[in-house]
Amino acid sequence: MYKVLVVEDEKGIYDGIETVLKPWNIETFAIKDFSNVTAEFVKTEPHLVLMDIGLPFYNGFYWCTEIRKLSKVPIVFISSASDNMNIVMAMNMGGDDFIAKPFDGNVLVAKVQAILRRVYDFADSVPILEHKGAFLNTGDSTFMYNDKQIPLSKNEFRILLTLMQNKGKTVSREKLMEALWKTDTFVDENTLTVNVGRLRKKLEENGLPGFIETKVGMGYIIS
């Protein structure tokens, strides 16, 4: 089942969208906190976003830009403000399509299905892992914090990925070494220590001290 996040503050419109998409095996999710749409996006991991322009706190252009920092998920704007300037701005901000309100339910379904087929017939959805406001995109191996992309080496990405996939659990040094080198061949443990040390320094320099904790004699944890 495909998941669609509907960033729309008018319940009647949301209900209408849910009604027309449900028969096509598309599950819709409503925004509960319009002051933090990004967090709900990460939690939902949708295949597509339907985005209104006029929203509480920040407008749809702002949230489109924020989501684009984390993901290439398709974003379709739905708005009554359908003048040429808003349509052009929506596309420039990273939108994939624009549907003017009021819209026909059949048109909405057709456009949503076309985008889902185009994007996901040959690709899986891209999960994003989050911790303390930092986002690791497993699709393009990017790491974001405070609207800034933090460059990672291949080994640093694999360390963060393994730890964030096991958030709250201690990951042994052996498991991390296997994730890094994918081999049973002996690798000097000091090499792992050096990689973790470099990653920690990079995280601290970008405002994330203590992101990775050491469990003496056991391994590492993101708690």
Query: Using CA atoms, how far apart are residues 52 and 10, in angstroms rounded to an integer?
Result: 10
Please give the pLDDT value at position 202. 94
Please give the pLDDT value at position 126. 54
What are the Cα distances from residue 36, in Å, to 33, 59, 61, 63? 6, 12, 14, 9
Strands 48-51 and 2-7: parallel
Please give the pLDDT value at position 36. 92
Helix (H, G, I), strand (E, B) or coil at 143: strand
Q: pLDDT per residue over 3-26, tens digit each?
A: 999 999 999 999 999 999 998 889
For residue 223, the one-letter residue type is S
78, 104 Cβ separation under 8 angstroms: no
Write out the chain's pLDDT in tens, 223 residues.
Answer: 799 999 999 999 999 999 999 988 899 999 999 999 999 999 999 999 999 998 999 999 999 999 998 888 999 999 887 778 888 888 888 898 988 888 888 888 988 988 988 887 644 455 778 888 888 888 778 888 887 889 999 889 999 999 998 999 999 988 888 888 765 445 566 888 899 999 999 999 999 999 999 999 899 999 8
5, 18 Cβ separation under 8 angstroms: no
Please give the pLDDT value at position 52. 93
Q: pLDDT per residue over 33-50, tens digit each?
A: 999 999 999 999 999 999
Q: What is the DSSP string of 109-138?
A: HHHHHHHHHHHHSS-----EEEETTEEEET
DSSP letter assigned to residue 215: E
